[in-house]
């Protein structure tokens, strides 16, 4: 059982209309993941910081990263350390991860993955992958 006050990492995949959020321990235990509207992102991050001992925010380095990094440093009462990671191909990887996390049931198992449509946004899964990329980079640096 994970220690409740173990530091956790917040993954953030910002977008123009929606944002993915994930909270994961350094032991890679997933504690939370959700897609929220862009307007609700800051408030949700503040709520998560009250629930979890978040020590770091990991965010992709593409599209709106620079604007969001600035916005987060201004709007959060106690700014978080923000680390940008390479987010290339993360959406494609998130599609595969979605089917690992939520395998199709019944007859839909017979439909090839490339023909299945994902029934919801996967920005939260991208946020999970961003944390995993960061943790993977740390492990590689230690070797």
Sites in the chain below the pLDDT cut of 70: 1-5, 139-143
- Per-residue model confidence (pLDDT) at position 5: 66
Domains of the chain are: 8-142 (3.30.420.140)
- Per-residue model confidence (pLDDT) at position 3: 47
Residue in 92, 115, 113 with CA at minimum distance from that of residue 102: 113
Burial class (CB in 10 A: 0-12, 13-18, 19+), 79: exposed
Residue in 83, 100, 93 with CA at minimum distance from that of residue 135: 83
- Per-residue model confidence (pLDDT) at position 114: 85
Distance between CA 111 and CA 109 in Å, rounded?
6
- Per-residue model confidence (pLDDT) at position 84: 95
């Amino acid at each position: 059982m994970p220690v409740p006050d173990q530091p956790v990492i917040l993954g953030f995949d910002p977008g123009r209309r929606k944002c993915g959020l994930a909270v994961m321990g350094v032991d890679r235990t997933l504690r939370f993941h959700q897609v929220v509207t862009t307007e609700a992102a800051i408030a949700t991050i503040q709520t998560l910081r009250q629930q979890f001992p978040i020590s770091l925010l990991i965010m992709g380095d593409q599209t709106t990263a620079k604007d969001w990094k600035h916005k987060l440093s201004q709007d959060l009462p106690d700014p978080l350390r923000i680390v940008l990671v390479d987010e290339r191909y993360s959406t494609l990887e998130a599609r595969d991860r979605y089917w690992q996390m939520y395998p199709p049931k019944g007859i839909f198992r017979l439909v090839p993955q490339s023909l299945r449509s994902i029934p919801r946004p996967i920005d939260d899964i991208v946020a999970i992958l961003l944390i995993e990329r960061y943790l993977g980079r740390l492990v590689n640096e230690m070797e």
